[in-house]
Amino acid sequence: MLNGCEKCDECGSLYLKSKSSMASLCPECASIIYGCANCEHVFKEGRCIHCYWDGSTTTYIEDLKKNS
């Protein structure tokens, strides 16, 4: 695991913990579940160059997106 990375409790992606408002959620999941600020994702080689999220999602996250 890269230094400074955590694994998101919701989607399972690695992310840079310094880029998320929540201790155990990537910026994407924290944004969708709790309304926290999200990263301006820019993907290169399958990962965001800013927060290291890999685009993972869950059924729960997809349902929240549909119903928002």
How many domains are there within the chain? Answer: 1
Give the other-Cβ count within 10 Å of 34's Cβ: 10
Q: What is the mean pLDDT of the chain?
A: 96
Q: What pLDDT score was predicted for residue 1?
A: 64
Q: What pLDDT score was predicted for residue 40?
A: 97
Does this model's pTM top 0.85? My answer is yes
Give the other-Cβ count within 10 Å of 65's Cβ: 10
CA angle 19, 13, 60 (to 5 degrees): 100
Which range marks the domain in which residue 12 is found?
Answer: 5-66
